[in-house]
Amino acid sequence: MVGAGTDHTKPRLEGGPAVILVRPQLAVNIGMCARAMANFGLSDLRLVAPREGWPQAKGLRKGAFAAASGAAFILEGARLYDDVRSAIADLHYLYATTARERGQGKPVLGPEPAMAASFVGISAGHRHGILFGPERTGLENDEVTLADAIITFPVNPAYASLNLAQAVLLTGYEWMRASKGVAPPFQPIAQSPPATRDAVLSFFDYLEGELDRSGFFRPQGKQPVMRRNMRNIFHRIGMTEQDVRTLRGAIVRLVQGPRLKGRKDDTGEA
């Protein structure tokens, strides 16, 4: 199953720190982690003693790949290890994720500064990795000991347990921000240039003239304030040329009634 945002014609982002899932319990969670990794350009997935094995039996494999939602390349490239030590042997720097204070005297970082530091290190040619523990219990203390620093998330202290894929997603998002910047991937397409002051003021003159004729500006003493309020509404919109033409045309129709075939109105349209 491929999501609506998947576009295989665009170049695939790869790299980043290794995502190391220690004794993951559910195949579907591995698939969801792969999807989160693909979302944010992470590509090195390492599995340490997954409970259901890897690759799984046919039914479990199908569930993992369905949960990956198009990120099959992450699953197909995943490497399997018997223990944490072998999974991290080639890394220069390692983070361990945990929601609990472990009393180990290690630096404790949120995902944003951690991934910013990883970007600097990886850019210098170093290999970084992040340990994520089993869904139910998290990492053991001896596994946290293997890491250089701890990543934890600013969550509700009364409910700090994150789904495994959510933890990977949050970390991956900060990796993307650190490595690619924070600009949105696309911007709205400008359909029409901003309206000139002359066009806006002409529209105001026409609108206020018709409102005055219809008795809108009552009592008379409040007319200046009512006019200013009306104008400020449209100024807040930041009208384009098309906005002015559309609004003027709509008011013309309200004033003149149904358009007769072949007749031109104040907007110059037939």
Q: Which residues of 23-46 are buried (b: 16+ CB within 10 A; e: fewer)?
A: bbbbbbbbbbbbbbbbbbbbbbbb
How would residue 25 be classed by pLDDT, with cut points 50, 70 and 90? confident
Rounded to the nearest 10 degrees, how much is the dihedral formed by the CA atoms of 135, 37, 141, 155? -70
Supply the pTM of this predicted model.
0.70
- Per-residue model confidence (pLDDT) at position 1: 44
Is 135:177 a contact under the CB 8 Å cutoff?
no
Q: In the predicted model, what is the mean pLDDT of residues 12-32?
A: 91
Mean residue pLDDT across the chain? 87
Q: Which residues pair with 79 in a beta bridge?
A: 46
Evaluate if residue 51 carries a pLDDT over 80: yes
Integer Cα distance of 247 and 234 in angstroms: 10
Mention every residue, 6+ apart, whose C-beta is less than 8 A from residue 216: 226
Closest residue by Cα to residue 102 from 137, 135, 144: 144
Q: In the predicted model, what is the mean pLDDT of residues 4-19?
A: 77
Q: Which residues pair with 94 in a beta bridge?
A: 129
**Of the candidate ranges 43-57, 83-97, 100-114, 245-259, the one whose mean pLDDT is the lowest:** 43-57
Integer Cα distance of 219 and 214 in angstroms: 13
Could you tell me which residue, 58 or 115, shows the higher pLDDT?
115
CATH class belonging to 18-180: alpha beta
- Per-residue model confidence (pLDDT) at position 269: 54
- Per-residue model confidence (pLDDT) at position 190: 67
How many beta carbons lie within 10 A of that of residue 48, not counting itself? Answer: 24
Closest residue by Cα to residue 173 from 146, 157, 153: 153
Q: In the predicted model, what is the mean pLDDT of residues 109-121?
A: 95
Could you tell me which residue, 251 or 11, shows the higher pLDDT?
251
Break the chain into its structural domains and give their ranges.
Answer: 18-180, 197-256
Q: Over the stretch 54-100, which tens digit does the pLDDT of each residue have?
A: 766 565 677 788 888 778 889 989 999 999 999 999 999 999 999 87
Q: Over the stretch 122-175, which tens digit does the pLDDT of each residue have?
A: 999 999 999 999 888 889 999 999 999 999 998 888 887 788 999 999 999 999
- Per-residue model confidence (pLDDT) at position 44: 96
How many beta carbons lie within 10 A of that of residue 128, not counting itself? Answer: 23
- Per-residue model confidence (pLDDT) at position 42: 95
Q: In the predicted model, what is the mean pLDDT of residues 191-209?
A: 92
DSSP 182: S
Write the CA distances from 60 to 11, 52, 54, 127, 211, integer angstroms: 30, 8, 10, 31, 69
What are 174's two structure tokens? Answer: 């900060």
C-alpha 46 chain-centroid distance? 24
Integer Cα distance of 21 and 96 in angstroms: 11
Q: Over the stretch 219-243, which tens digit does the pLDDT of each residue have?
A: 988 999 999 999 999 999 889 999 9
